[in-house]
Amino acid sequence: MSGLSYICDEYGSNSEDSDTDKGQEFDRPKLPAPNLSKVVVVASHTHTDNPELHGGRSRLFPHVRGNWASFVYVNYDQIDAVCNLIDKLEEVVVTKSESCHRCDDFHISLSRTFVLKYHFISAFSSSLHKCLANTESFHLGFGAVKIYCNEDCSRTFISLEVDPFAQKHLQEISNKVDQVLTEFQLPPFYENPSFHMSILWVNGDKKFELESILDELNEILSQEVEKSLHAVLVETINCKSGNKYFQYKLR
Ligand code: AMP
């Protein structure tokens, strides 16, 4: 245990990573100094990533205290309909890849994952709020199954590409999000973004293998789109920064 985490355990967490209400200051009773003589001290910036703890995934950038991984997205909440579809797609995907994982949540990204310093979060969120004001709500459905690789090709995603109508709306929103990212000197989204919702992923670059079964996967998608995977109305845009969640209402 590091000296720092020992102190946190003794005195209760005062971490900047928590989203608790800071509230009013008040006088606390003084606690006795902890005995740190038997504690092995590890430099506070030392963080060893263990990909086994997150399904073999490796971080794209190192964990640094005070840096909050952030991204902007549309949340998708038709979980039952998507899970039905995944059950069926999975049966075909496992014929090409021995281990295949379900995505933890369902969203359509409007930014890459970027790093925000804690003290910039609120200003960033306000800018996003201003920029998205007067943006119209729209319907979103899925047109096709598409395969994507992440930037370092360490993971391949089986995703649902958003229909052309929603692509157009998302492109407009993405342009606004890019303006805010630029204002904060953060990297914009893809030059030619292809808006999609990832549902399954496999380790490594399996694009070639998975593209060979696209016809079968698309056949299953069209059956589910007819039965239960209907278009949804998108009325909010979301931003996550560390464990803070922000929501911006569309018109
Ligand atoms: P996501 O489900 O949003 O995390 O996207 C899965 C992966 O698709 C991400 O790691 C992206 O880097 C990747 N990707 C590759 N090409 C594109 C593209 N043209 N537009 C959006 N995402 C892309």
Over residues 132-151, the pLDDT tens digits come to 999 999 999 999 999 999 99
Residue of 104, 109, 159, 171 to mutate, ligand 1, most atoms within 8 A of C-beta: 109
Asked if the structure places residue 205 within a domain, the reply is yes
**pLDDT for position 41:** 42
Average pLDDT over residues 197-206: 96
Ligand 1 atom with least separation from CA of 109:
3
Q: Is the model's pLDDT at 19 over the cut of 70?
A: no
Ligand 1 atom with least separation from CA of 192:
19
- Structure confidence at residue 75 as a pLDDT band (50, 70, 90): very high
Dig out the tokens for 13 from the structure: 């967490």
Asked if the structure places residue 245 within a domain, the reply is yes
Measure the CA–CA gap between 67 and 120, rounded to whole angstroms.
10
Distant-in-sequence, close-in-space partners of 209: CB < 8 Å, separation ≥ 6: 96, 97
Q: Catalytic residue numbers?
A: 107, 196
Dig out the tokens for 218 from the structure: 């698309």
Measure the CA–CA gap between 125 and 247, rounded to whole angstroms.
9
- Answer whether 148 contacts ligand 1 (Cβ < 6 A): yes
- Answer whether 151 contacts ligand 1 (Cβ < 6 A): yes
Asked if the structure places residue 168 within a domain, the reply is yes
Asked if the structure places residue 228 within a domain, the reply is yes
Give the dihedral sign, CA 89/94/96/100: positive
Q: What CATH number did the domain enclosing 138 receive?
A: 3.90.1140.10
- Answer whether 150 contacts ligand 1 (Cβ < 6 A): yes
Strand, helix or coil at 197?
strand
How many structural domains comprise the chain? 1
Average pLDDT over residues 94-102: 88
**pLDDT for position 36:** 52
Asked if the structure places residue 13 within a domain, the reply is no
**pLDDT for position 51:** 55
Asked if the structure places residue 2 within a domain, the reply is no
Backbone angles phi, psi at 201, to 5 degrees: -145, 155
Q: Is the model's pLDDT at 69 over the cut of 60?
A: yes
C-alpha 150 to ligand 1 mean position (Å): 6
Write out the residue range of the structural domain in which residue 171 sits: 69-249
Asked if the structure places residue 82 within a domain, the reply is yes
Average pLDDT over residues 4-19: 35
Asked if the structure places residue 48 within a domain, the reply is no
- Answer whether 157 contacts ligand 1 (Cβ < 6 A): yes
Region label for 153, one of left (φ > 0), alpha (ψ between -120 and 50) or beta (otherwise): left
